[in-house]
Amino acid sequence: MASRIVKSPSVQATAKRQFAAQAVATTERELVKAEPLKVSTLSNGLTVASLENHSPVSTIGVVIKAGSRNETYETAGVSHALRVASGLSTKRNTSFAICKNVQQVGGAISCTQGREHTLYAVQTTRDVADVGIEFLTDSVSNSMYKPWEVSATLPRLKLELATRTPATQALEMLHQAAFRSGLGNGLYCPSHMVGSHSTASLSQFTAKHFTAGRAALLGVGISHSALTKYAELLKLESGSGPSNVATKFTAAELRQETPGGMAYVALGAQTAGAVNVAEAMSNLLLQRILGSGPSVKYGVGSGLLSAAAASAGGNAAASGICQMYSDAGLVGALVVSEASCAGKAVSAVVSALRSVSVTDEQVAGAKNRLLADVYSVMENPLEMVEDMGVQLLVSGDVMPVEKYPEIIKAISTADVQAAAKKLAGSKLAMASVGNLSSVPYLDAL
Amino acid sequence: MAMFSRTLSLTSRSANLAQARTFVNNEAVKKWAFNLSGFNQYGLYRDDVLFESDEVKEAIRRLPQHLQDERAFRVQRALQCSVMKTVLPKDQWPTYEEDREKGRYLTAYLEEVRAENAEKAEWAKNA
């Protein structure tokens, strides 16, 4: 009889509800809110920025305003050589010591480069962040670039050159065609300069550009006071180094025939740089309207340009490109196609670029995609550190993440339409890589 | 007074020690040993006649190219002398001072290689 009562639905339901409530009560906990971003400048000109998000992993980065843009004709490729030479012996530690000590605490040091910045970053757990920062700052300020160690990095340099995708090559060549020197310098060492970077040229490049006025120490997952204390370990000369030469755009063309059955064509028009925030944001939205790749795996992508490329028949895909630098930018398209229909695809994409126009719905969709992309960057602390660093170096200030939705909302369809109209009327630079049997020349487009 | 005598004995003891250290540790003895070993008669420096262990080989690999070439030349000249069962004319022998100045070109590189190997051994020991 007792068992019949226990099995009755009313008793069972009550018991289940009470057990469930108990379970919820024990697992409820309070989320610790991330602290706001803190930025300060030290007496020697070094900027320190930190975001304490109470993460168990600390990501510390030193970002320096030096990249391929700062190369000259004689020093072409030195930034790539510098990138593969990160982690070599310093005045105080051998490269073996740096590697082993950082490995021992479970950390990782990396070097990432853009055309205008170089980022050295270390990721460790919070409790051993001091070890990571010690070797990171040592690596940045005291590297000796010993000749036998630099020549031991050559195989890595050659591997990076050999494993470039054709799309990357097309984008590099687009920059070269459009900007020639400065921003036109590639992120990869030109083949005639491989092996010609000595201790002297590397040391001269770092001595000239690694100064406190062009550097920032960034941290995610570390307190501002701790980071400011560690900033003393970073021994950089004070000063702000040489200023950049102004960028000039030329609507020129570069072609490179390679074996295979595919053609990769990059097209770009000049825009204002990242300092013009409103125009930069409009161009980023325009890129998403033109198409920024498929959002569904194995999908086709839903941009204006994918429709144009598909109209050419055969296997062709196109997406928008938008590269922002401090004083100039490129907005345009990247077309990847089978060799036979490449010509039709490129012509269709160019006519789409020259007649681009946007609707409210497209702009709304693009705003959502842009916000999602921004939040994806915030998910990855390394990318967040790089983003903070680039913002600091370019504009001297970091935009807090909370402001992004309102900034994006503030852009009107008219702004994006103006950017689209500007693109439609601009001269294009072009770079083609691959089997170019059917790809037209720029003056025929 | 007792303190005085103790101080006096201390200073005299240190003077004796200093003298003991310079019994062989002086220029004349070093010069005599250098001339007796005779590698300078083949036109060689001290670092040319080091036994080429793995450490020395690595240090030579790290030498700047012009130093490697000069070393190769001196070794070849010495081999020629050895084959001809003769030595160089006396005016071509490196002097003791020249050997002190130029003959230790490899030492810095060798010390660095030894320190690196010791560091690696230390890590391997504790691994």
A377 neighbors A383 (Cβ within 8 angstroms): yes
Min Cα distance A236 → chain B (Å) is: 26
Residues 59-78, chain B: which have Cβ within 8 Å of A?
A: 61-62, 64
The three-state DSSP-derived secondary structure of B58-103 is HHHHHCCHHHHHHHHHHHHHHHHHHHCCCCCCHHHCCCHHHHHHHC
Strands A316-324 and A262-271, bridge-based pairing = unpaired
| Predicted confidence (pLDDT) per residue in A363-416, tens digit | 999 999 999 999 999 899 999 999 999 999 988 888 888 888 998 999 999 999
Residue B119 to residue A147, Cβ atoms within 8 A: no
Who among A97, A146, A148 is closest to B119 (CB)? A97
Residues of A in contact with B123 (CB under 8 A): 96, 100
Q: Which pLDDT value is given to residue A372? A: 92
* Residue in A closest to B116 by C-alpha: A94
Residue numbers of chain A with a pLDDT score lower than 50:
none
Q: Which pLDDT value is given to residue A10? A: 74
Residue listed under structure tokens 């941009």: A303
* Residue in B closest to A151 by C-alpha: B62
CA A236 distance to own-chain centroid? 25
C-alpha–C-alpha distance, residues A260 and A267, integer Å: 21
Q: Which pLDDT value is given to residue B24? A: 86
Residue B116 to residue A96, Cβ atoms within 8 A: yes
Q: Which pLDDT value is given to residue B6? A: 52
Residues of A in contact with B66 (CB under 8 A): none
Min Cα distance A103 → chain B (Å) is: 12
| Predicted confidence (pLDDT) per residue in A141-154, tens digit | 999 999 999 999 99
Residue listed under structure tokens 């062709």: A316
> Is 0.90 topped by the overall pTM?
no
Residue A96 to residue B64, Cβ atoms within 8 A: no
* Residue in B closest to A147 by C-alpha: B62
The three-state DSSP-derived secondary structure of chain A is CHHHHHHCHHHHHHHHHHHHHHHHHHHCCCCCCCCCCEEEECCCCCEEEEECCCCCEEEEEEEECCCHHHCCCCCCCHHHHHHHCCCCCECCCCHHHHHHHHHHCCCEEEEEECCCCEEEEEEEEHHHHHHHHHHHHHHHHCECCCHHHHHHCHHHHHHHHHCCCHHHHHHHHHHHHHHCCHHHCCCCCCHHHCCCCCHHHHHHHHHHHCEHHHEEEEEECCCHHHHHHHHHHCCCECCCCCCCCCCCCCCCEEEEECCCCEEEEEEEEEECCCCCHHHHHHHHHHHHHHCCCCCCCCCCCCCHHHHHHHHCCCCEEEEEEEEECCCCEEEEEEEEEECCCHHHHHHHHHHHHHCCCCCHHHHHHHHHHHHHHHHHHHHCHHHHHHHHHHHHHHHCCCCCHHHHHHHHHCCCHHHHHHHHHHHHHCCCEEEEEECCCCCCCHHHC
A171 neighbors A54 (Cβ within 8 angstroms): no
* Residue in A closest to B117 by C-alpha: A96
Q: Which pLDDT value is given to residue A14? A: 72
- Per-residue burial over A138-156, b = 16 or more CB atoms within 10 Å of its CB, e = otherwise: bbbbebbbbeebbeebeee
* Residue in B closest to A149 by C-alpha: B62
A65 neighbors A214 (Cβ within 8 angstroms): yes
Average pLDDT across chain A, whole number: 91
C-alpha–C-alpha distance, residues A163 and B62, integer Å: 30
Q: Which of A100, A101, A199 to mutate to test the interface with B (most CBs of B within 10 A)?
A: A100
C-alpha–C-alpha distance, residues A216 and A397, integer Å: 11
Min Cα distance B55 → chain A (Å) is: 15
| Predicted confidence (pLDDT) per residue in A315-328, tens digit | 899 999 999 999 99
CA angle A53, A325, A361 (to 5 degrees): 75
ipTM: 0.81
User: Residues near A187 by Cβ (< 8 Å), separated by ≥ 6?
Assistant: A67, A68, A79, A80, A113, A114, A115, A172
Q: Please give chain B's pLDDT, 127 residues, in tens.
A: 445 555 555 555 555 555 567 888 899 999 999 999 999 999 999 999 999 999 999 999 999 999 999 999 999 999 999 999 999 999 999 999 999 999 999 999 999 999 999 999 999 997 6
